[in-house]
Amino acid sequence: MAETFTDLLDRLKKDIPAVSVDQAAREVANGNPVTFLDVRETDERQQGCIAEAVHLPRGFLELKVESIIKDRTVNLIVYCASGTRSVLAASSLLQMGYTRVRSMSGGFNHWKESGNPVKIPMVLSTEQRKRYDRHLRIPEVGEQGQIKLLESQVLLIGAGGLGSPSAYYLAAAGIGKLGIVDFDKVEASNLQRQILHRADSVGEAKVKSACKTLTEFNPGISIEAFEERLTPENVERIMTGYDVVVDGSDNFPTRYLINDACLRLKIPCVHGSVFRFEGQVSVLDPARGGPCYRCMHAEPPPPELAPSCADAGVLGVLPGVIGLLQAVEAIKIVLDKGESLIGRLLQYDAMECKFREFQLHKDPTCRYCSTEGEFPGYMEYQQFCGDHN
């Protein structure tokens, strides 16, 4: 006689490892590494979910799980509304080679009734689904990745050559909140490369010009403007709360200040710089094992060896290349996908059309990132950097 669904479910419940709601909650409270997999439908999840749970509706499980949960040894607790679909999902996962899979008895309904914490997830609107449709089609981004982007906050230091392309593409990607720091005003000579600004913006504060452009470009994100020079007195106030800092500054005192503040606040910094026909980009994140800016440059080079763009000039399109790479790295950090440029410096030579990669290592003698000791403090950056502006 053919097996009925009830017979199948009863058999699977005997074979599939189960975990009670109380046991699952204790594992979380004890800090045990657990990945919750929510196999409910999207409309069910909108009523609430377990924080940080991976969402993959049961109907798409076998089709998509391998691209979303790549580690088959991860500690997986599968849940649905009441504990039926999770048993079926757990059975499929075990057959696919996932080795540590359990079904949560009672499901999300019992989790919620037991008073455990519940998160009301962000839901993409119809307009957002249309705008970010191409992101939603990428397994590495998808709906949950796009929500991460919309819930993220990225701070741009500088609304100039590097900040302009970075800002455009971060806004286009749907970074929920963009902060922009710049105290300068738009000049005619900026228009050759600083694409956030237009001819009628000359004389206007760069942050105001940038806010106007980006708000028109994507009204669905928020822009926070800081029309002030970055200093040791205001840097932590400005940076606090942001997930990533994109450094588009053009002088050594600001770069060292950004580095030190990011170290203190444990914020990853996407560094970029340009000079004539060459540019470079890296991710400085000692909290994840990489070097800091001081490991690259323990002290600034003599001014004559590192003239500013105002003195040496820069090919107008070059900041576009480097600024876009900075935006890519920032998005990868937010999504926690791919291999970032932590510990690597990517150099671009426009004249030869070549990219070169250099390995970067932490300086074991660096006072700022080599130890877990007390933060050395901010310094007189202008004096430290001499005549650099």
| Domains in the chain: ranges and CATH | 5-113 (3.40.250.10), 152-384 (3.40.50.720)
DSSP class per residue in 64-124: HHHHH---TTS-EEEE-SSSSHHHHHHHHHHHTT--SEEEETTHHHHHHHTT---B-----
* DSSP-derived secondary structure letter, 152: -
- pTM for the model: 0.78
Q: How confident is the model at residue 52 (pLDDT cuts 50, 70, 90)?
A: confident
How far apart CA 166 and CA 371 sit, in angstroms, is 32
**In 105-241, which ranges are continuous DSSP H helix?**
107-113, 126-131, 133-136, 142-151, 163-173, 206-217, 235-239
Indicate whether 177 pLDDT > 80.
yes
Q: How confident is the model at residue 3 (pLDDT cuts 50, 70, 90)?
A: confident
Q: pLDDT exceeding 70 applies to what percent of the chain?
A: 96
Tally Cβ neighbours within 10 Å of residue 3.
Answer: 10
Phi/psi class of residue 203: alpha, beta or left (left: φ > 0; alpha: ψ in -120 to 50)? left
Indicate whether 372 pLDDT > 80.
no
Indicate whether 30 pLDDT > 80.
yes
How far apart CA 242 and CA 66 sit, in angstroms, is 31
pLDDT attached to residue 5: 86
Q: How confident is the model at residue 171 (pLDDT cuts 50, 70, 90)?
A: very high
How far apart CA 283 and CA 329 sit, in angstroms, is 8
